[in-house]
Structure 1
Amino acid sequence: MEPQTVFQAAPRGRFITFEGGEGVGKSTQMLRLAERLRAAGVEVATTREPGGSPRAEELREALLSGRLKRFGPLAETVVIASARADHVDRLIRPALKRGAWALCDRFIDSTRCYQGAVGGVAAETLSALEQVAARDAFPDLTFVLDAPAMVGLERARRRAGQGAAPDRFEAEDARFHERLREAFVAIARAEPGRCRLIDATQAPDTVAAHIWDTVVRRWPELEPRP
């Protein structure tokens, strides 16, 4: 029997994003997928938004602290786009160019939902800022993890620990988070070629298995050959 071949990344790497409301398990599932990909011989860069680069992390702190809330959703959107441009230039695009896979916890769809669908920023404005900030670094595949808003918020609070203050978005009311959930689901259904809607109320192992199955169906060369 010939030895198994190790998957070689394409000249341009793949870009996978994880989206959804608070506490749905995006970070956990991103790290689990990264582990599986590395075991298959793929170079992987994991990152997050807002943030992902030193300058973008500074803007993340300003956003999540709530200091920008008084300026309104449009101002938040411009700050996020600025952070994204730096993040893409310094981390995501270089990773893709060298053939690595980039996995990101939140990206353009979170802006579309938080600042767009719920915040009221016009879709045309969001699209224009996406083109400036992301340009050639749009996701190849997006997992939208879905769970009832209150389930996700309770998970987020347990993760943060008792007595921890909620961030700018966790502190919003239940209706805000239900509208977010509806917006994420709407994106997943509107873009089935890019997005996969995953039931995040399932056990983490089950969610991870669904994600891996989707990835190898999209890129069957990941599966080892006999």
Structure 2
Amino acid sequence: MTEPLTRGLFITLEGGEGAGKSTQARLLDDALARRGRKVLRTREPGGAPGAEQLREFLLKGDHGLSLRAEVLLHFAARLDHIERTIRPALDAGQVVICDRFFDSTLAYQGYGLAHGDPALLEFIARLIDLTGLMPNLTLLLAVPRTLARTRMQQRGGGSDRYERLDEAFHLRVADGFRRIADQAPGRIATIDAGGDVEQVQQALLTEIDRRLPA
């Protein structure tokens, strides 16, 4: 059974491309450190040496895997990340801020690639339960696709295989995130990330203070 942690604090940031997760994770790291908390900032897929190798394969390679095999690789990277990075930090009482976690697998593979296929969603749900780790709080950054596309164009640089998929895929991902949030209102807080960086950061901190006052 997957349970929230009692030591440390595990916060995940979720959202589609161009939502600003990486920027907000960095700012949140700084803000919580100023409050005297020891913070570890990490990401998925990745966050541990083996998981980073799988990240390169999953995001950059034209691997041609079946969808279930792709999901299993994401969870292989996730378990390496949990065991080598996340759990040790949480056991030491740190705040762990993770850019993406299992909700992204549900949204991208379950809803985006599999069009919400119930069998694949159930497959992912069973794997989530097997990981034995649930975030204390998930902050879902929501932005309109028009704004997300503009941000991606301004960011420049190379795009990964998911970013290059068509608009219909990204709309399914956004809808998937909304469905996931509706199913877990106690854990997931949806944040309007369409404002400027400072406004979004304040909204995140306000939600953390409201939901995790300790």
Secondary structure at the counterpart of residue 62 of structure 2 = coil
Shift of 1:158: 2.0
Following TM superposition, by how much is the alpha carbon of 1:76 offset from its aligned partner in structure 2, in angstroms?
1.2
Instruction: Report the residue type matching 1:107 in the other structure.
Output: F
Superposition pairs of residues 12-51 of structure 1, within 5 angstroms: 12-51=7-46
Unaligned runs of 5+ in 1: 1-9, 222-226
Aligned counterparts of 1:62 and 1:207: Cα–Cα separation in 2: 32
Range that drifts further, 113-122 or 177-186: 113-122
Report the alpha carbon displacement of residue 127 of structure 1 after superposing the two structures with TM: 1.6
Answering whether residue 95 of structure 2 is matched by residue 97 of structure 1, we say: no
Q: TM-score, normalised by structure 1?
A: 0.86
How far apart are the structure 1 equivalents of 2:142 and 2:61?
25
Structure 2 alignment gaps of length 5 or more: none
**Among 142, 145, 170, the residue aligned to 2:141:** 145
**Matched AA of 1:57:** E
Shift of 1:189: 2.0
Who is 1:123 aligned against?
121
Q: Work out which of the residue numbers 189, 205, 212 in structure 2 matches 1:212.
A: 205
Could you tell me how far apart the structure 2 residues matched to 1:146 and 1:37 are? 22
Within a 5 Å distance, the mapping from 1:150-165 to structure 2 comes to 150-159=146-155, 161=156, 164-165=157-158
Judged with a 3 Å threshold, the aligned counterparts in structure 2 of structure 1 residues 11 and 19 are, in CA distance, closer, same or farther, namely closer
What's the counterpart of residue 78 of structure 2? 84
Aligned length: 206
Give the greater-gyration-radius structure (CA): 1
- Amino acid corresponding to residue 18 of structure 2 in structure 1: G
Q: Residue 201 of structure 1 aligns to a residue in which SS?
A: coil
User: Does residue 73 in structure 1 map to residue 73 in structure 2?
Assistant: no
Residue 30 of structure 1, CA deviation: 1.0
Q: Normalised by the size of structure 2, how large is the TM-score?
A: 0.91
Give the aligned partner of residue 109 of structure 1: 103
Contact 1:11–1:98 (CA<8 Å) still a contact in 2?
no
Quote the offset at 1:177 in angstroms. 0.5
Identity of aligned residues (%): 42
Output one character per residue of 1:40-91: Cα deviation in whole Å (capped at 9) or x when no partner.
11111000000000110000000111422x2232121011000000000000
What is the Cα deviation at residue 146 of structure 1? 0.7
Maintained 8 Å contact 1:11/1:99:
no
Give yes or no for contact 2:47–2:81 (8 Å, CA) kept in 1. yes
Kept in 1, the 8 Å contact 2:113–2:169? The answer is no
